[in-house]
Chain A
Amino acid sequence: MSLMSVRANVEHVYRWDLDKTYLETDFDSVRGLVKTALEPAVNKRAVPGAKALLNAIAQDNPGSKIVILSGSPTQMRQVLEEKLRLDGVRFDELRLKDNLGNLRRGRLRAVSHQMGYKLPALLQGRVGARAVVHETLFGDDAEQDALVYALYADLVSGLVDETECAEILRAAGAYRDEVDAAIAALRRIDPSSAIDRVYIHLSRPRAPKRFEALSEHVIPIHSHFQAGVLEFARERLSPAGLVSVAEGVLSRGRHPVHLANLLQDLGRRSWLDRGLEARLMAVDGLHTLIAAFRSRWEGVICDAPRKQRPRTVDYLALLPRFERRTARNS
């Protein structure tokens, strides 16, 4: 069983990416890459609200497991663990990519590609989990997180079969052993609709429409405050947890009006309903904000919570769109 597999008593799994999801990382330039590799933990900065959100999730869901799956090289383990420790983040596992091993074995595609690394790792991590153990995933728009996570959700639910999975992995440049590992793990997973939410932090940022072709599990977020609100909506985050996320965002040079605009954005995408507004209004630290700015979302608020509907996704056709590109091409 994989190190990342789910313990029998775990109630919920939160899987987080690190770079650009939790950490503000610049790997779009050589300078940024060098800086990322060399800077000490104390200088690394979390994305506004990420530290508060991850800590609040851990605190509000004591039966949950927090798994960090990152494409950062294994050589960075010490500094990343130190950063998480400095931020007070509780995590159960931290999996990093063996880029040096890949280089030694001449597996250059494995260094730059993400699908062949992340998808087998996710599937292996799901092996042995009961169908009732749900998962929430956090990634970003810099690489293929949205595509990989959506595919993972559809594989676990049985919407995509192993033949298609192998085909997609091969098309994404995965090596044979990576494909085999993914298929082997998939065969050991009980189908369920357990992967119920995928948050994609728009770090570049990209147009939200880009993600509409993926499953409805995938929700692009402009700020972790939006993820906080949606987790609060489904009662996975306490009022105090949500307030701490809001404070985390505000402490990084934002004003309450920015939070109000983020709520309006959720409304425009049908994620804000009357019931949620009423619950937000009842949160001590948010009452003033909601009361002051509710006219902002009055025209877009829904009467009932949004329903997620399964959608057929043509992953092979979408692959080129999710290749890693520069911001200019996004």
Chain B
Amino acid sequence: MSERPITIALDVMGSDHGIEPMVEGAARFSLESGGAEVLLVGDSDAVHTALQAQRHDASRLAVIAADGGVSPDEDFRAALSERPNCSTNLCVALLAGGQADAMVSAAPTGAVILATSAGLRRLPGVRKTALAAVYPTERKHGPRQDPFALMLDVGATVHASAADLVRFAVMGSTYAQVVSANPNPKVALLSNGTENTKGTEAIVAAHEWLNRSEIVDFAGNVEGLDIPKGTVDVVVCEGFLGNVVLKMLEGVGEVVADLAKDAYARRFLWRLGLTMLSSGVRQLRTMTDWKQYGGAPLLGVDGVVVKAHGRSNPRAVSNALKVATKAVRGDLTGKIETGLAEAARSGWFDEPDEREG
């Protein structure tokens, strides 16, 4: 008999495209060897119908009935409080109760953040949670030469103080170590200039704070143009800014693809050129395709939570499940907790003025 498999609760409701891509993604994931067990949390009749139409390994999938989900067009606060057994709440409950080791949800970000903050404790030392997203970069990262880097926070909260940004840096650095197997990730703050005086008060203070770090390999500030270049492995910013940047990167990727399609249709010579460049274009599309990267982990809570894109297709869902599995296998939560505890013990987390005083 083998060890109990890693169990991931998948919130199959709340996606922009209904339950089908969520179920298909889980079905695909179930067929991959060594895959974790997935609890499909949602409308059980609909899940069953969708599942019968998919190739899947039934031994790795279980359906957990939920009282609906949080749809993108409803007030998520009301939905979560009025339906305690909705799929998002139930996933959090399964994670909190130890029946699941991780959860993946494509429900609206606000709903996932609210449900997790209500149902999961924050790790000691964490003041605000952070949503981390990987994005494609020109430079490759870590020993595996991953063509993407990590950015956080991309929308768990709006504003962040210097103390929050410092904690984001510790959590992001740990995530890169666990998931990207990067032993010494370079971390930077996103600002409007590389000088230590540039940026908001919080960024300037965080810069000074991180400069004294022995836990995080701080590379200073980076500007927007450094993001696609991939100058560093982890970019730290407040949620408002991170969300705008992330959406812009996605938009640029989609516009480039649309422009290429348009050019292909317009002129024969352009079509010829694009055909000759087809493998390169394909590679570029693959690299800039967010579906490739699965989902954004929510860092700072006691459990692995991955927020999948609302528009996730089956591949994105399957990749989000892989990210969650990898995070559980690498004990991401435990390592973040250890990193934060070490920082706290060393006194580095104390407010700068407290330390100086």
Contact = CB atoms under 8 A, between A and B. Distances in A.
Interface of A: 204-209, 212, 222-223, 250-251, 253-262, 264-265, 268-269, 296, 299-300, 330
A257 B37 contact: yes
A48 B249 CA distance: 47
A14 to B, nearest CB: 24
B210 to A, nearest CB: 44
B59 to A, nearest CB: 4
Contact of A259 (B3, B44, B55, B59): B59
A261 B60 contact: yes
Contacts of B1: 250-251, 254-256
Contacts of A209: 52-53
Contacts of B53: 207, 209
Contacts of B5: 255, 257-258
A268 B46 CA distance: 11
A57 B106 CA distance: 46
Interface stretch (B61-69, B82-90, B313-321): B61-69
Contacts of A253: 2
Nearest to A266: B58
Contacts of A260: 62
Given A207-B56, A261-B37, 14 more contacts: A205-B56, A207-B53, A209-B53, A222-B59, A254-B1, A255-B3, A257-B4, A257-B5, A257-B37, A261-B60, A264-B58, A265-B58, A265-B61, A300-B48
A262 B48 contact: no
Nearest to A253: B2
A261 B2 CA distance: 15
3 shortest interchain CB distances as A-B pairs: A265-B58, A258-B59, A222-B58
B12 to A, nearest CB: 14
B62 A255 contact: no
Interface of B: 1-5, 7, 31, 37, 44, 48, 51-63, 65
A268 B60 CA distance: 14
Contacts of B52: 207-209, 212, 269
A207 B65 contact: no
9 contacts: A205-B55, A254-B2, A257-B4, A258-B37, A259-B59, A262-B58, A264-B62, A269-B52, A296-B62
Contacts of A296: 62
A261 B44 contact: no
Contacts, number: 69
B44 A255 contact: no
Contacts of A256: 1
A300 B2 contact: no
B55 A207 contact: yes
Contacts of B56: 205, 207
Given A205-B31, A258-B60, A299-B44, A330 B55 contact: yes
A262 B59 contact: yes
Nearest to A265: B58
Nearest to B99: A295
A208 B51 CA distance: 9
B49 to A, nearest CB: 9
Contacts of B4: 255, 257
A227 to B, nearest CB: 13
B102 to A, nearest CB: 15
A262 B44 CA distance: 16
A255 B55 CA distance: 21
B61 A261 contact: yes
Contacts of A269: 52
B48 A268 contact: yes
Contacts of B7: 257
Contacts of B54: 207
Nearest to B47: A268
Contacts of B58: 222-223, 261-262, 264-265
A300 B52 CA distance: 15
Contacts of A259: 59
A257 B99 CA distance: 12
A20 B312 CA distance: 34
Contacts of A205: 31, 55-57
B86 to A, nearest CB: 16
Contacts of A208: 52
A135 to B, nearest CB: 26
A300 B60 contact: no
Given A250-B1, A260-B62, A261-B37, A300 B44 contact: yes
Nearest to A259: B59
Contacts of B44: 299-300
Q: Among the interface residues A206, A251, A265, which one has the most CB atoms of the partner chain B within 10 A?
A: A265
A207 B195 CA distance: 58
A153 to B, nearest CB: 22
B23 to A, nearest CB: 11
B59 A254 contact: yes
